Amino acid sequence: MLVFVMLSAIAFPQSPPVPYSVKADRLGETIAEWTANNPGFVKCPNYAIDDMYGSSVDPKLMYCLTHSREDGQDLTYAESPVLLETAWFYRDSLYKVEMTFLSQAGLTDVIAGLKRKFGKGVGRETTRTQNSFGVRSEQKRLTWTNTISTLQLSYSTASNEFPHLTFTFNALNKELTHGAKSTERARPLSDM
């Protein structure tokens, strides 16, 4: 029996994880591939996020406003209405997709859909807060990962906050974050 199990593991190696996908978009795809999948996107300014002198933001970072309910585009994710969707690119590759939901009404459907598509999450974090009027709420974050991509759903029990879903391509995010930290550390020395 043990020999059969070992031979099965050798004969059928598991395939490496692939980047997460969001509807028709796959983390790591090029801007050209993304544009072909999103012909009706709202705007995609062709400039860096922060062009100010001394910025720690890498000039190879770009964002596209994919869908906006304010512009009359109806988008849903797991049947829950999306207020805003943004695609982030680094070095011409999709490295992050962010969605802000219109309300918390469909949040249970979103969580159930994420569990069906991505399996059991790897992290659940709850932070209790209280505002200056004494109103208490909880900030919750659910996390999924397949080692090359990370997915986080953040929401609050406060009624005036919008749930937020973020898909991130880990290697590009790490490279971008490391570059920003290196620039930030070098900045004080450059004006001495």
Q: Where are the domains of the chain?
A: 17-187
- Residue of 146, 145, 141 lying closest to 111 (CA atoms): 141
Measured in whole angstroms, how far is the alpha carbon of residue 188 from the centre of its chain? 31
Residue 110 vs residues 46, 80, 84, 124, 177: alpha-carbon distances, Å: 32, 7, 16, 15, 28
Can you give the pTM of this predicted structure?
0.75
**pLDDT over 50 (residue 59):** yes
Q: What is the mean pLDDT of residues 79-105?
A: 89
β-strand 21-22 against 80-90: which pairing, if any?
unpaired
Q: What is the mean pLDDT of residues 159-173?
A: 88
Supply the DSSP symbol for 69.
Answer: G
**pLDDT over 70 (residue 58):** no
Give residue 51's pLDDT.
47
- Note the pLDDT tens digit of each residue in 173-190: 788 776 554 444 444 555
- Residue of 80, 76, 68 lying closest to 44 (CA atoms): 68
Rounded Cα–Cα distance for residues 126 and 82 (Å): 23
- Note the pLDDT tens digit of each residue in 14-54: 778 888 888 888 999 988 888 888 877 756 665 444 444 44
Residue 152 — very low, low, confident or very high, per pLDDT cuts 50/70/90?
A: very high
- Note the pLDDT tens digit of each residue in 95-146: 999 999 988 888 999 999 999 999 998 999 999 988 888 888 899 999 999 9
Give residue 65's pLDDT.
74
Helix (H) / strand (E) element for 149: namely strand 149-156
- Residue of 188, 180, 109, 114 lying closest to 150 (CA atoms): 114
Give residue 38's pLDDT.
80
Half-sphere exposure of 121 (CA within 13 A, CB side): 16
**pLDDT over 90 (residue 154):** yes
- Residue of 94, 95, 112 lying closest to 153 (CA atoms): 112
- Note the pLDDT tens digit of each residue in 33-44: 888 888 777 566
